[in-house]
Amino acid sequence: TSAALSFALMLLANHKNVQVGDLVQKIAQKLQVLFQDQIVDEMVTVLGDLHRKPTYNNLQEMKYLERAIKESLRLYPSVHFISRKLGEDFVTCNGLKLPKSTITHLHIYDLHHNPDIYPDPEKFDPERFRPENSQKRHPFAYL
């Protein structure tokens, strides 16, 4: 969505260490030298020529870019909550009984900012989504 893209661009602009930078090769090279910019490094490695439009396969290779986008969506989810109607009776982990047809809400923002799941949850840290850093996390801890 446009909101998700806006937040991603804002975070990249405020975090020079992961900033995409300008697509003009000369500026990208300067950013590489100044910031050791991980996304620019990845783009140079995958694309070779920064003036070339990436293909779908190129985008699949850009794992750091993917982690940066996931982290921006974790901090600023495009959907703040989801609702579901229970198909059967359900007992929560603390013993609360919810009858069938109860409408429940899952607050994605709260889930994504839970310090038990994401230490230092307000920090923009794309490294959270490296495979070795997310293996122990429940698959639905990130929506």
Contact predicate 32/44, CB 8 Å: yes
Q: The tokens of 24 are what?
A: 């003009």
Q: What is the pLDDT of residues 60-90, one digit of tens each?
A: 888 888 888 898 889 989 888 999 999 999 9
How far apart CA 143 and CA 141 sit, in angstroms, is 7
Residue 9, pLDDT > 80, answer: no
Q: What is the pLDDT of residues 88-119, one digit of tens each?
A: 999 998 999 999 999 999 999 999 999 999 99
How far apart CA 2 and CA 13 sit, in angstroms, is 16
Cα Rg of the chain (Å, integer): 19
